[in-house]
Structure 1
Amino acid sequence: MKRLICYISLSFTMVMGACNKDALNKGPLNLYSDNNVWKDSALISRVVLQAYSGIHCIYDDAGDWMPCDITDEAKTARSFLKCNLVNAGQYTASSGIYDGTWTGTYTNVRGCNTILSHLNDMPLSSSGKDQIKGEVLFLRALNYTDLYFTFGRFPIVDKVLSLSDELTAGRASDDSCVAFMLNDLNAAAALLPESYPAASLGRATKYAALGIKCRLLLNHKDYSGAAAVAKEIIDKGPYSLFPDYGGMFYPENDDNKEVIFNKEYAGDQSNQVHSLDVYDNSSYFTGFSSVVECPTQNLVDQYLMTDGKPWDKSGLFDPAHPYANRDPRFQASIMYDGTTWMKTLMDMKLGSAINPTTSGTTYTGYMLRKFLNPNYIFYGNNTNYQNCIMLRLAEIYLNYAECELKLGNAEGARPYINLLRERVNMPDIPAGQMTWDAYVRERTVELAFEGQRWNDIRRWGTGASMIGITINAVKINEQNGARTYTTVPLENRFFDPKMYYFPIPQDELQKYPAGKVPEQNPGW
């Protein structure tokens, strides 16, 4: 494959970062020879940190489109983004959907394989080598899971390829791909520490490896296996729910006690920044046409009233004040008409200063609040770049609950759902009333916008009812000082079962010689 051949240079620049725009800018590492790099413990440490910088997370997509924009969670306000092709079912293998995921994964895997190939050359103790090996195996598996959840089966590359190697490997079987990732995660978990001192927060731990293993097993529908791993994390891991659901994502609470793994920003580990606060705040604050992600009315309707009932079955619902008495996770996740943000009343009526018709308009009547920093400074230097939580204890609780439900043990699932509800002062689900629908709703609101929704929908087989649907918005009218809120259809989306996995980019397939082109995903 050309995409692999272009990386076989042994120079440090090509090995670790020339094709990665986010590589650490910590010094002229490309001036060092391979021999110098792998003999110097300080340079080795920087190489490993650079491998972390290649991690892809949803914050890296800010300004383009995030995964929520192709689910029922959100609608992008930018008509030119490629996610609109997905929503309309008008994309093909040539559309470049997730092409960066394919190329980025193999760039990052190449870096991981390079480090692993030099372990024996490193002037480190056995324990030091073991930790690096564990970290890099974890990172390789993390990159491959990103690829796997997007495209399904993939070509397995487990070493640094040279011109003498077979460079046109086909896609491995599904079982082989899963086994390979699990082997890496199991080995990583055996080698990595359970925790780190404050100076090393953000590095992969044993429980980070187990957490990604749990996610992989769940999506592979190995419910017994995923439940066992989840229970190990719950029982033995040093984690607990952070008391403030919304504040959990603020920069002052980075690396809090709920976080199992995150991508670190503005530190030695990645030395990166993201633009989420700029692109997803109102143009009133940013000064330019922002607001990329617009939460849907479909998602808003999933948030229960504080009595634990849906809005259309609760006596607490007031159509004149539809956002009052809602699950507190609603206020923490979504900006709505009448809420306060950055000491400003958010007037979401179309044509207001917050929601102007000229730029930065939200199509749905809502804006994203989750993840955003309420103390962000929009002008001048601002180093408050919050980390992106990629795995947290709440997901493990939900994974365990799903497994228990699938295994026929609803009462085993209920306590973990109730722990999440108790965190935000929502009423418990009573004994005997833990249903699948209640679980789906809980997972929907707890993990809203965090990037797992597409995997969930594929695993549940609910693409027709959760993707190929009418996306709704709220229309806000005002007469004599009184406002009315009406749900209106915004967009009819398309779904075909072939869409559960995205087509391998055509540009990648064209790099194979005739007769060795791997098969495309079914239907594409």
Structure 2
Amino acid sequence: MNILKKYFVILGILLAVFACNDTLELEPLDKVSGKVLFETEEGIKTVVADMYKRIPVENFWYRPTGNFAGFNNKNAESAGAMIATDHFTDDACLSHGSGWSLTANYWPYGNIRYANIFLETVEESKGNLSEPVYNRLISEGHFFRAYIYFGMAKRYGGVPLIDRLLDDEYQPGSDNENLNIPRSTEKETFDFILADLDEAVKYLPESTPPDKEGKFRATKWAAYGLMSRVALFAASTGKYNSNADVAGEAFDKKLAFGITPAEADEYYQKCISASEAIIDNSGKSLFQPNPGSPAEAAFNFLGLFHQDITDGNEIIFKQGFIPEAAAETQGHRYDGLNTPHQLNQGYHVDGRYSVSLDIVDVFEDYSDDGSGNSVKVKTRTDGNESYTFSDISDGFDADLPFIKYDSPLDAFADKDARLHASVMLPYSNWRNTEIVVQGGLITPTGTQQIFVNQSAQGLDGNTYYVYGAAGNSLFSGFYGLNFWQDGNYYSTGFGVKKYLDIKDVDRGRNSDTDWIDIRLAEIYLNYAEAVIESGSGDAAKARNLLNALRQRAGHTDNIPLTLENVLKERRVELAFEGHRYWDLMRRRDVHELFQNYKREALVPVLDLRENPPKYILVRTNQYHDERAGGRTVFDHEYYRPIPGRNTNNLIDNPNYN
């Protein structure tokens, strides 16, 4: 580790960094002693804001792979890439295609040092701080450090644990072997994180002022929420590690795949306890829990992700963005990148987030028969929804018993409200515009025109277009599938809606929607999963929490508490919030699912053999997955290779050395 003088080196503190960021209007500070900074309220704000900036939240500025990979990127190629981990799951893909990708390396020992400096300096400044301020800062420091270590633990397993500054341990002229900290076991690493969170919950406040100075700082419930998430992650890996077939020194020494099934229950218990602390004591409640109709439920759920609509009581921890700060953009580009192409906001890319038919099929309908079963989109009169054309562009059997729809949107009329709030459906209305998503025509003579820029005359004498409109600025799906540069059109039939700005405002590159990192719905689901997996906790409470989420979505029945129901509910409730990737990782499901796996698309095709024309919906493999021969993940890819081994000599994870 690079040995530096024990100073806070504050390099150009941002005028508006997220998490308390919009409250700070301070001059940049340079090489200011930590104790001096803690002598003033403004100095404390500066240090705290800089620490929040370092928390590895996978928000709008996070990019998990490729150019500019990492956290807090605002660069033109990365800012707004938003939850791009979901692009590497069965829920979604980039419109121009994406396979499997491990998340970016994250080896932030500079930030760990910063956290340790923070904690030590607060301790040294105790005499200058009031007891409440001192206590809060100490707990905040433990929250910071826990979050940073969790970002590493879920990527690498066991990592070197450094809980102090090493400056005084440096010996000039010696080999300083004492500074070569080896990897701890995976269990020791998760125990360290949870111990930090035990310290965090001691003195963090139960609430913060709703003003811009306080609303993004962590509360006691944020620490409990992170504890719930961390403990469930550790428990799941312990229970399901045997699903992966790996070997090597890191495996033998329990640095990776290192938590055993016998140890899993202690983490499930920790998840249950942390979740109950929030559920029973925080006063948090679901946003709009009792809608009058599915339509109202959809409106409410969409509004949950917009701070100008939601009351925020469901939100436990979030980060804020502002569109402009001085000459630097501090907003994000989520809207610019993901708005349907028809509503292009002047940015050169849009429509980049394609949602898979796989996740659309998971949502229930409103039959509400007490089972909670998913209901696939209905495309055929014989109910056979398992048949998929591997490549619709090669043609398909148009004489199969397809349902004939007046509009593709009719196929989703009875689907769960959260689908309508989270997914841009073909021919739905967004900002007073019908979002045209179509991929083909069947001419009156039966000729198929699929994924080609052509038109045909119908039996009614009108001209119809393969993509639903004459010009490529007038539709939003399937165009230019062979060209990365034309990746501005949904390649699955669906786009993302969750988090898109609902206001009819041209945001372009400066969206200011807050990022919700932890909300009460996740805690309900963490609790339910831990209860069903461990066989402990209050099963009746877990069942009630599970059904509360469905009732908030407009369902009227109650379903049983089963693992299948919990995981299905988790997938639809938290869709596109960045959870699916890590759920697959912690439960060791990725390598079993992604074996030449091809995500599915739904292609609306206009049948001109009918008068008036009718739509049929054709199931097919996503274009780029089909051409890639599917996507495959290997057992060892649950962990990243350890960075910098040529200098740190740490034991690498299995199959990387």
TM-score, with structure 2 as normaliser: 0.69
Give the Cα–Cα distance (whole angstroms) in 2 for the partners of residues 98 and 305 of structure 1: 37
Give the counterpart of 1:441 among 556, 563, 568. Answer: 568
Give the Cα–Cα distance (whole angstroms) in 2 for the partners of residues 217 and 520 of structure 1: 24
Give the counterpart of 2:475 among 354, 365, 370. Answer: 354
Report if the CA contact (8 A) 1:294-1:365 is conserved.
yes
Residue identity matched to 2:220: K
Give the Cα–Cα distance (whole angstroms) in 2 for the partners of residues 9 and 126 of structure 1: 28
Counterpart residue number, 1:151: 156
Give the Cα–Cα distance (whole angstroms) in 2 for the partners of residues 267 and 141 of structure 1: 30
How many matched pairs?
A: 495
Give the Cα–Cα distance (whole angstroms) in 2 for the partners of residues 426 and 509 of structure 1: 53
Bigger shift: residues 156-165 or 207-216? 156-165
Counterpart residue number, 1:489: 621
- SS of the aligned residue for 1:247 comes to helix
Gaps of 5+ in 2: 63-79, 171-177, 236-266, 289-299, 384-402, 440-466, 481-485
Bigger shift: residues 420-429 or 22-31? 22-31
Gaps of 5+ in 1: 92-96
Give the Cα–Cα distance (whole angstroms) in 1 for the partners of residues 646 and 338 of structure 2: 36
Give the counterpart of 2:550 among 421, 427, 430. Answer: 421
Cα drift, residue 11 of structure 1: 5.2
Report if the CA contact (8 A) 1:218-1:399 is conserved.
yes
Give the Cα–Cα distance (whole angstroms) in 2 for the partners of residues 378 and 478 of structure 1: 32
Give the Cα–Cα distance (whole angstroms) in 1 for the partners of residues 147 and 652 of structure 2: 23
Give the counterpart of 1:84 among 96, 99, 103. Answer: 99
Residue identity matched to 1:445: V
Q: How does 1:14-93 map to 2 (within 5 A)?
A: 26-31=25-30, 33-34=32-33, 36-55=36-55, 56-61=57-62, 62-63=80-81, 66-78=84-96, 84=99, 86=101
The answer to whether 1:121 aligns with 2:125 is: yes
Counterparts in 2 of 1:407 and 1:340: CA distance versus 1, 3 Å: same
C-alpha deviations, 1:403-432, integer Å up to 9, x for none? Answer: 2212337545321110000001113334xx
Bigger shift: residues 193-202 or 163-172? 163-172
Counterparts in 2 of 1:127 and 1:398: CA distance versus 1, 3 Å: same
Q: How does 1:463-478 map to 2 (within 5 A)?
A: 463-468=590-595, 469-478=597-606
Counterpart residue number, 1:232: 277
The answer to whether 1:135 aligns with 2:140 is: yes
Cα drift, residue 185 of structure 1: 0.4
Residue identity matched to 1:250: H
Counterparts in 2 of 1:268 and 1:374: CA distance versus 1, 3 Å: closer
C-alpha deviations, 1:147-182, integer Å up to 9, x for none? Answer: 212222222222334384454322211122112111
The answer to whether 1:286 aligns with 2:345 is: yes
Counterpart residue number, 1:396: 523
Bigger shift: residues 108-117 or 203-212? 108-117
Give the counterpart of 1:342 among 412, 420, 431. Answer: 431
Counterparts in 2 of 1:340 and 1:167: CA distance versus 1, 3 Å: farther
Report if the CA contact (8 A) 1:182-1:213 is conserved.
yes
Residue identity matched to 1:30: L
More helix by share: 1
Counterparts in 2 of 1:254 and 1:51: CA distance versus 1, 3 Å: farther
- SS of the aligned residue for 1:144 comes to helix
C-alpha deviations, 1:248-291, integer Å up to 9, x for none? Answer: 1013146700011111223999x942221111112332232223
Provide the identity percentage.
25
Cα drift, residue 487 of structure 1: 1.3
TM-score, with structure 1 as normaliser: 0.86
Counterpart residue number, 2:497: 369
Report if the CA contact (8 A) 2:10-2:28 is conserved.
no
Cα drift, residue 471 of structure 1: 0.9
Give the Cα–Cα distance (whole angstroms) in 2 for the partners of residues 108 and 303 of structure 1: 40
Cα drift, residue 116 of structure 1: 1.3
Give the Cα–Cα distance (whole angstroms) in 2 for the partners of residues 151 and 319 of structure 1: 51
Give the Cα–Cα distance (whole angstroms) in 1 for the partners of residues 96 and 166 of structure 2: 40
The answer to whether 1:211 aligns with 2:339 is: no
- SS of the aligned residue for 1:84 comes to coil
Report if the CA contact (8 A) 2:17-2:50 is conserved.
no
Give the Cα–Cα distance (whole angstroms) in 2 for the partners of residues 14 and 157 of structure 1: 22
Give the Cα–Cα distance (whole angstroms) in 1 for the partners of residues 530 and 507 of structure 2: 47
Counterpart residue number, 1:94: none
Counterparts in 2 of 1:310 and 1:44: CA distance versus 1, 3 Å: closer
Cα drift, residue 37 of structure 1: 2.3
- SS of the aligned residue for 2:411 comes to coil
In our comparison, the structure showing a higher alpha carbon Rg is 2
- SS of the aligned residue for 2:9 comes to helix
- SS of the aligned residue for 1:109 comes to helix
Bigger shift: residues 225-234 or 401-410? 401-410
Q: How does 1:377-392 map to 2 (within 5 A)?
A: 377-378=505-506, 385-392=512-519
Residue identity matched to 2:475: I
Cα drift, residue 445 of structure 1: 0.2
Q: Aligned-pair RMSD on alpha carbons?
A: 3.1
